[in-house]
């Protein structure tokens, strides 16, 4: 719509002049990923809820933006939580177990390498007790 020779919000040129709103919009969940009473984990830090806090979905709402009302174990309840901000508890625990196992293997490999280097040094110079 052209108002007084200017480009108005209803005209085609408005989007060309100021850019598309769709390009500026943040990515939001449009698919229902969780159901009522499902146990979840905060995947990111939320207001009053650190990442990794367990919780439960109490209410699912939305048509174009699916959002959740979540009660967390630390006593906080947050409405309008996007699905990208929470994850399923079972998959999160499995991922944490995998990360812990990788860290343990890395620590063991470092300890083996240190023991190997020490053994090689003892072969070259003899044990420290002699």
Which comes out higher in pLDDT, residue 117 or 5? 117
- SS3 state at 25: coil
pLDDT digits (tens, 9 = 90+) for 59-111: 998 888 889 999 999 999 999 898 889 999 999 999 999 999 999 999 999 99
Is pLDDT above 70 for 38?
yes
CATH number at residue 76: 2.30.30
Judge whether 64 and 53 are in contact, CB under 8 Å: no
Is 2 among the domain residues? Answer: no
Is 13 among the domain residues? Answer: no
CA 90/CA 81 separation, integer angstroms: 19
Is 6 among the domain residues? Answer: no
Q: Considering the entire predicted model, what is its pTM? A: 0.60
Which comes out higher in pLDDT, residue 28 or 128? 28
How many structural domains comprise the chain? 1
Is 3 among the domain residues? Answer: no
pLDDT digits (tens, 9 = 90+) for 9-32: 555 555 554 444 444 445 676 777
Q: What is the pLDDT of residue 86?
A: 92
Is 60 among the domain residues? Answer: yes
For the chain, how long is the longest CA-to-CA vector?
Answer: 99
What range does the domain containing 103 cover?
28-125
Is 104 among the domain residues? Answer: yes
Residue 119 pLDDT level (bands cut at 50, 70, 90):
confident
Is 45 among the domain residues? Answer: yes
Is 36 among the domain residues? Answer: yes
């Amino acid at each position: 719509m052209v108002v007084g020779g200017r480009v108005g919000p209803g005209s085609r040129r408005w989007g060309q002049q100021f850019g598309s709103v769709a390009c500026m919009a943040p990515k939001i969940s449009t698919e229902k990923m969780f159901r009522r009473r499902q146990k979840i984990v905060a995947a990111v830090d939320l207001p009053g809820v650190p990442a990794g806090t367990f919780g439960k979905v109490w209410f699912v709402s939305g048509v174009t933006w699916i959002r959740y009302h979540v009660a967390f174990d630390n006593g906080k309840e947050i409405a309008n939580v996007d699905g990208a901000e929470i994850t399923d508890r079972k998959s999160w625990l499995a991922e944490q177990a995998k990360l812990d196992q990788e860290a343990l293997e890395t620590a063991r490999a470092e300890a083996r390498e240190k023991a190997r280097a020490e053994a090689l040094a003892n072969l070259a110079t003899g044990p420290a007790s002699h």
